[in-house]
Amino acid sequence: MNKALLKRWLIQAFIATLLWSISKIVIKLGLEVVSPMLLAGMTQLVAFGAILIFALSRRIKLVRKFSGGEIHALIWLGILGFVFAPLLAIIGLTGVTGSTAGLFAALSPIFVIGGGWLILKEKLKLWQIIGAVVAFIGAYVFLSGSPFSGTNFGITLILISELCYALNVVFTRLIMRRPGDDAVTVSLAGTFLGALILVPLGLSQSPLTELANPSAWIFILVIGLIFAFAGMIWTEALNDLKAFEAAILQNTMLVQVGLLSWIFLHEQFGWLQIIGAIIVLGGAYLVNRGLLKSHHARNRN
């Protein structure tokens, strides 16, 4: 893999994290007009529809011969990443601040490291460990002055949601590291499973009159399209990036969500957040810069 292609994957992974950070703010606002379960189900349905339209318009071949292990991984990534992760995150956001949600998004790479080591047998290099440590130090500094608040119920759901999402990253990488462009197939299967389970659940638990509100549909469409686009470009990046190499970029979500929460939700953002944000970004840059140098040296040799 050449350096330009690697940079493309890194940029795509970063854009995906930025979109997910934006989605947390939109979800927080959308929960004022749509109940959590209905929002979770309808956004997965919109995401599935958007990916399907994209696949049909581009005439993308969706059929691929999956091994037995890959089929199991596909089912698990769908259940964890497209059912439990979004559902628990949306419900959890009813009881936590945006900054608190950003904290757990930044801690997700810890779960990915463990899953990547146990399931994918991915090993970390010294510079990756150093970069991760720097990023986590930045997260600690950031949070030492952050409005970390929320109900125990909300915090627990957000934490479990990030664990589910981390496992989703691992299972996605398990499929995507095999040669071939399967990003659309994987995203389509995941959103289909998510919609299949969450839509009936949301419709059974929420009054249908909520869907008569035009504002509700605006939030549903925006969040669903974000999930569709971010999911596809993130999955595609996992063609060549290891699970940890992509997930470390999630540390930047702590900064992204903090800034967005300050701008749109009027949550506190002080000097400690600024200093911590710089350290977090520095750690993520260190990991990515070392990754680029490593690939460049390997290609040159």
Round to whole Å and give the CA distance between 283 and 286. Answer: 5
Spell out a b/e string for 162-194, using b for 16 or more CB atoms within 10 Å of the CB, else e.
Answer: bbbbbbbbbbbbbbbeeeeebbbbbbbbbbbbb
Cite the DSSP H helix spans in 116-182: 126-144, 152-176
pLDDT for res 294: 52
pLDDT for res 223: 95
Round to whole Å and give the CA distance between 245 and 228. Answer: 22
Round to whole Å and give the CA distance between 216 and 39. Answer: 9
Cβ(183)–Cβ(239) below 8 Å: yes
Four-CA torsion 160, 166, 168, 171, nearest 10 degrees: -140
pLDDT for res 299: 46
Report the candidate in 62, 50, 42 with the shortest Cα–Cα distance to residue 194: 42
pLDDT for res 217: 95
pLDDT for res 121: 79
Q: pLDDT 10s digit of each residue in the chain, 301 long? A: 556 666 777 788 888 888 988 988 899 889 989 999 999 999 999 999 999 999 888 777 665 667 778 888 889 989 998 999 888 988 888 887 666 666 666 667 777 777 877 887 777 777 767 777 887 787 777 666 555 556 778 878 888 988 898 888 888 888 877 655 577 888 888 999 999 999 999 999 888 889 999 999 999 999 999 999 998 888 888 777 777 677 667 667 767 777 777 777 766 666 776 777 778 777 767 766 655 555 444 444 4
- Encoded amino acid at 88, one letter: L
